[in-house]
């Protein structure tokens, strides 16, 4: 007879499965980009697949009839368009120019932008540890840029890729900051959080649909379709559900540390399947960004919100 898992252990299981799935996302997207697949199409389709998973889940749990798309629709539209749609678009376009590991590292600049929004919109003065964290993160980006000549198969639009990566972190920061307003009252109620994500993803999928009409190569081979569907079903769907259940069982500061493991899983997968070669600039620069993000997230753990949009 299998021993019943404690809530903390069960939360860790949910979290690690979600993080492992998100660790596949970067390499899978990078693979499609290297194959020449239209990344606009990839971005749009993965949201439709993810929305379908949320639809099945909320339908089974009985929350689907209670989703109110008109409630605070302006804020919801802002989150869906900027925090999710643009974030995902920048993320997938960055994969054309940079490795999945580097894209994930740059997305972890998001706590820096959350700090900036808090200062600009709420007049919350940053503390010394937050300023120190900001300097760490910016120093990490600068170190990666200075060490660009040490990257294998460097894309000639490397700097543009870095710019897109920073925009990825900025838009994810917008998602984190503004979705806190809607998600904070639902803390500890994962089913209702998934229903909230269903609303956001449905709107995002509709906003992204025109991208399906852009010129470019659709997936053709079995493996191209396989990884695209896998990204939609598991990274855009199942991982979010598992992660939000983990958040309902684990302390927020613990999950903020665990989320950084998406970079570890991404790096391992890229080394194994795409031949990624690490260098000291990527390792040290990435470490500085992650350290800065961790310090900011830990100090601001009461503002943390479920989920994330890799």
| pLDDT digit string, tens, across residues 137-147 | 778 877 877 77
The residue written with tokens 């990204």 in the block is 231
Under the banding of pLDDT at 50, 70 and 90, the label for residue 136 is: confident
* Cα dist from 220 to 28, 35, 36, 47, 227, whole Å: 15, 10, 11, 19, 11
pLDDT at 111 over 90: no
pLDDT score recorded for residue 11: 82
Cα separation of 197 and 209, whole Å? 18
Of 88, 87, 144, 74, which Cα lies nearest the Cα of 113?
A: 87
Q: How far apart are CA 293 and CA 157, in angstroms?
A: 26
Q: Which of 148-152, 161-165, 241-245 has the lowest mean pLDDT?
A: 148-152
Tell me which residue has tokens 């665990």: 258
Lowest mean pLDDT among 94-98, 164-168, 181-185: 181-185
Please report the pLDDT score of residue 134 as a whole number.
76
Q: In this predicted structure, what is the pLDDT of residue 62? A: 86
Average pLDDT of the segment spanning 117-135: 79
- Could you report the per-residue pLDDT of 58-103, keeping only the tens digit for each? 998 888 888 888 888 888 899 899 988 999 999 999 999 988 888 8
Within the chain, residue ranges assigned H as helices are: 7-34, 39-61, 73-78, 87-97, 100-107, 110-122, 128-146, 158-183, 190-208, 222-230, 239-247, 252-259, 261-274, 280-299
Share of the chain above pLDDT 70, in %: 88
Owner of token pair 């639902």: 186
Q: What is the CA radius of gyration of the chain?
A: 19
User: Region 204-212: what's the mean pLDDT?
Assistant: 94
CA distance 277 to 90: 24
Contact 249/11 with Cβ under 8 angstroms? yes
Q: Rounded to two decimals, what is the model's pTM?
A: 0.81
Residue in 110, 149, 111 with CA at minimum distance from that of residue 130: 111
Return the pLDDT at 298.
62
């Amino acid at each position: 007879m299998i021993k019943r898992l404690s809530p903390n252990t069960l939360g860790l299981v949910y979290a690690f499965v979600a993080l492992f799935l998100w660790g596949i996302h970067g390499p899978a997207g990078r693979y499609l980009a290297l194959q020449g697949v239209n990344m606009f199409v990839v971005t749009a389709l993965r949201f439709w697949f993810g929305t379908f998973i949320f639809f099945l889940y909320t339908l089974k749990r009985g929350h689907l009839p209670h989703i109110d798309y008109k409630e605070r629709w302006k804020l919801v539209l802002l989150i869906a368009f900027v925090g999710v749609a643009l974030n995902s678009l920048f993320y997938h376009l960055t994969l054309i120019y940079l490795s999945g590991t580097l894209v994930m590292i740059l997305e972890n600049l998001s706590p820096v932008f959350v700090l900036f929004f808090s200062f600009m919109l709420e007049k919350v003065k940053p503390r010394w540890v937050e300023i120190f964290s900001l300097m760490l993160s910016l120093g990490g980006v600068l170190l990666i840029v200075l060490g660009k000549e040490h990257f294998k198969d460097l894309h000639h639009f490397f700097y543009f890729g870095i710019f897109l990566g920073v925009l990825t972190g900025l838009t994810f920061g917008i998602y984190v900051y503004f979705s806190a307003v809607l998600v904070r009252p639902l803390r500890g109620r994962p089913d209702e959080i998934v229903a909230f994500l269903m609303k956001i993803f449905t709107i995002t999928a509709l906003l992204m649909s025109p991208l399906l009409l852009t010129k470019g190569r659709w997936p053709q081979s079995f493996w191209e379709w396989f990884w695209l569907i896998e990204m939609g079903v598991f990274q855009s769907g199942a991982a979010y559900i598992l992660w939000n259940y983990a958040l309902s069982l684990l302390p927020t500061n613990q999950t903020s540390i665990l989320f950084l493991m998406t970079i570890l899983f991404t790096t391992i997968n890229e080394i194994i399947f795409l031949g990624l070669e690490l260098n000291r600039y990527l390792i040290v620069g990435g470490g500085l960004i992650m350290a800065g993000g961790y310090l900011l997230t830990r100090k601001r753990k009461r503002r943390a919100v479920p989920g994330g949009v890799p």
